[in-house]
Amino acid sequence: MRSPIPDYLAEVLADFASDTSGAPAGYIPELATADPERLGAVFAMVDGAVYGAGDVDIEFTIQSISKPFTYALALADRGFDTVLAKVGVEPSGEAFNEISLEGGSGRPLNPMINAGAITTHSLAGAEGMDAAQRLDHVVSGLSAFAGRRLSIDESVCSSEMEHAHRNLAIAHMLRSYNILTEDPAAVVEGYTRQCSLLVTARDLAVMAATLANHGVNPLSGERVVPEPVVRQVLSVMSTCGMYDAAGDWATQVGIPAKSGVAGGLIGALPGQIGIATFSPRLDAHGNSVRGVSLFGRFSSDMGLHVMEVPAAARSVVRSNYVVGAGPNAIRVLELQGGIRFAGAERVVREVMDTAPTEAPVALDLTMVYSIDDVARRMLLEIVRRLTLDGHDVYLIDPEFIIPDPDPGDGGRVSVVSSLGQVGSDAARRGRG
Ligand code: GLN
């Protein structure tokens, strides 16, 4: 069978191919020469499957899409406190190159506008690195996100440097507030080189999938940044990634995203997918026109909005029944799926409503495929309370979804691999 996914992608690209509105970025002369007809889209799943259609292997400069990744490196390298002291997390509602800093502190409002991104570049790598070492660290870090060594487009870089007056003005202002502590021109050069890294839509989708996959590159298996960093980066992308169009984006598309003026656009949907599109014509906000349309379509066709409410937690309790009769009776609660807080709450209520009279109570986890920390602790608290009420509690857990269960003070639990063992174990202990 041929996968329907690339066919779907090609079909959606065809629907938007004729839209020629917008224009390639003009303020970087070299970008204005880009072929405006280029159009591509890539899906990278968090387990490493990659699908694409159109211009997926054409290189273009990453531009502002480098910002969330450099922010991730800075957070990982210097820690949250150091970075947050210098760059805020508030949406600016302004253009990406607005010369605006927080009143008083002089902090840039967020790391997605240029003021914040220039500062973030200066915070990547260990303290004391010189400009060249830092750039090398940033290139290596972004390459790890992409899963291949990225290189710089020197002509785009020098073209931007010749016209970098605005970014230089921002950097000098940052220097005057001591947000930047080194030569502003050198930092702008490093930042501009970072923006000039060449990527393909395929690279960008893998970079986004690395965020969606809690910081582990799904192709190389490398952990690039720690999980708390990913949560921070995705949060900032969702509130600030599309600049002054962030509110429209959050409501209509609902995928943490970042755009770049060379026409790239990425979205990372936690736990599911990294998406990238490439189309150079931009709208008034500096976001790719067809990229925005494609994301709108992907989100509605496939229910990718982060605020899409998932199926009810009620389905966590698959069945609640008694096997055996009289003194041999065993109460069994069969659980299923992925269990988080709301699912565990449903189990608590099921146990309370049932108020089991049978001595043995078994929680059957055979069909549970994941359980998060809070849900695990809640299930073990149920075990503890059932023990205190005089029950013999069993976890039917053939795949050790809860390794080394410890129900704590006064709790006791036997782990078995099938329901059959519950009966025999209870019988052996003379309760049958
Ligand atoms: N290098 C560009 C700049 O600093 C990046 C802007 C963007 O992609 N939005 O202006």
| Contact present, 346 and 316 (Cβ < 8 Å) | yes
Task: Report how far residue 277's alpha carbon sits from residue 205's, in angstroms, rounded to the nearest whole number.
Answer: 8
| Mean pLDDT, contiguous 10-residue spans, the chain (432 residues) | 93 97 90 93 97 97 98 98 96 81 89 96 96 97 98 96 95 96 97 98 98 98 98 95 84 95 97 97 94 96 89 82 92 96 94 95 96 96 96 96 94 94 59 36
H, E, C per residue of 262-330: CCEEEEEECCCEEEEEECCCECCCCCEHHHHHHHHHHHHHHCCCCCCCCCCHHHHEEEEEEECCHHHCE
- The pLDDT assigned to 313 comes to 59
Q: Does 67 qualify as catalytic in the annotation?
A: yes
Angle between helices 66-78 and 131-146 (to 10 degrees): 110
User: DSSP states of 19-81 as a string?
Assistant: ---SB---SSHHHHTS-TT--EEEEEETTS-EEEEES-S--EE-GGGHHHHHHHHHHHHH-HH
User: Which amino acids bring their CB within 6 angstroms of ligand 1?
Assistant: 63-64, 96-97, 114, 160, 167, 195, 260-261, 286
Whose tokens are 């021109």? That residue is 185
> All domains of the chain, ordered by start, with CATH?
30-302 (3.40.710.10), 317-431 (3.30.750.24)
| Contact present, 191 and 180 (Cβ < 8 Å) | no
Which residue's alpha carbon is at the smallest distance from atom 2 of ligand 1? 63
Query: Which ligand 1 atom is the nearest neighbour of the CA of 243?
Result: 9
Which residue's alpha carbon is at the smallest distance from atom 4 of ligand 1? 114
- The pLDDT assigned to 306 comes to 92
- The pLDDT assigned to 430 comes to 40
Task: Report how far residue 277's alpha carbon sits from residue 371's, in angstroms, rounded to the nearest whole number.
Answer: 34
What tokens does 250 get? 């959050």
- The pLDDT assigned to 425 comes to 53
